[in-house]
């Protein structure tokens, strides 16, 4: 139950920021492509994906919200709260209905094999 409370608190803090769809997509990529997950074999490639998502988020926020100079900082400072949550419970809450009983960790390698153009299209929300 505590996990659900923490998750609700996180969602409320993000809702206050009024995150748009593009920002949300970039944040998902930043969280998904985290090079410090245990057992990774290609952490340098994953780190490059994460850096690309961070740079694109920064560019997007600067162009879309030029008057809000602290928006990016307010968004990124919320992400460490996700690390406090149990990944297995979060996976169960959000992904079980989508991927069945397959652990999300086993799907990440398939995501990493996507062509760069496919990745770019998904991160920006455009179709290739």
Per-residue pLDDT of the chain (128 residues; tens, 9 = 90+): 777 788 788 888 888 999 998 998 888 888 877 777 767 777 888 888 889 999 999 999 999 999 999 999 999 998 888 777 766 666 666 555 555 555 555 555 555 565 444 545 555 554 44
Distance CA 96, CA 103 (A): 9
Check: CB of residue 30 under 8 Å from CB of residue 57.
yes
Domain of residue 42, CATH code: 1.10.565.10
Environment class of 19 (CB within 10 Å of its CB; exposed 0-12, middle 13-18, buried 19+): middle
CA 101 to chain centre: 21
pLDDT on residue 120: 52
pLDDT on residue 128: 43
Tokens 């162009």 belong to which residue? 63
Number of domains present in the structure of the chain: 1
Residue 65: domain span: 2-124
- Residue 16, classed as helix, strand or coil, is helix
Token duo for residue 113: 């094999």
């Amino acid at each position: 139950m505590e996990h659900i409370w923490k998750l609700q608190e996180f969602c409320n803090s993000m809702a206050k920021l009024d995150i748009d769809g593009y920002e949300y997509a970039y944040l998902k990529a930043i969280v998904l492509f985290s090079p410090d997950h245990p057992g990774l074999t290609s952490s340098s490639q994953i780190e490059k994906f994460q850096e690309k998502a961070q740079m694109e988020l920064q560019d997007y926020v600067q162009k879309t919200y030029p008057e809000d100079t602290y928006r990016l900082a307010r968004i990124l400072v919320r992400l460490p709260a996700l690390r406090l949550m149990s990944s297995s419970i979060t996976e169960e809450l959000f992904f079980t209905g989508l991927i069945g009983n397959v652990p999300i960790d086993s799907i990440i390698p398939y995501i990493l094999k996507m062509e760069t153009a496919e990745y770019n299209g998904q991160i920006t929300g455009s179709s290739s």
